[in-house]
Copies of this chain bind each other. A is one copy, B any other.
Amino acid sequence: MSLGNFLREHRQALRKGDRSYSLRRVAERVGIEPSYLSKVERDLGSPPSEETLVRLAGELGQDPDVVLALAGKVSGDLKDTIRRRPVLFGQLIRELRDLPDHAVLRLVREVRDGDW
């Protein structure tokens, strides 16, 4: 699924119940030109900036991290966190790269619930 398809599909889904989710209206609320959003939804040209993508995700009720990922980006706050301890996080993430979802999820839970 491309970024454009994702955005278009979710916007159109919302539109079924609310006429205000036309491309033009959404563009207006997000603060960009309609023609630009049109291009974004068709994956033409480079994807919007992180800020614009986050506002777009919010408008469509989608997870910002997912939208950013579809645009080939990683949230700035995650990058900051890694940058503060590059060796440690580098090791950890590379270690987890090939592990299945459930293993990573188990780790998340362990950290959240455990006495760290």
Contact = CB atoms under 8 A, between A and B. Distances in A.
Interface in A87-106: 87-97, 99, 101, 103-105
Interface residues of A, number: 39
B89 A93 contact: yes
Main secondary structure of the interface of A (DSSP, over half): helix
Interface in A50-78: 63, 65-66, 68-69, 72-75, 77-78
Contact of A107 (B73, B83, B92, B101): B92
B83 A108 contact: no
A4 to B, nearest CB: 17
B92 A108 contact: yes
A111 interface: yes
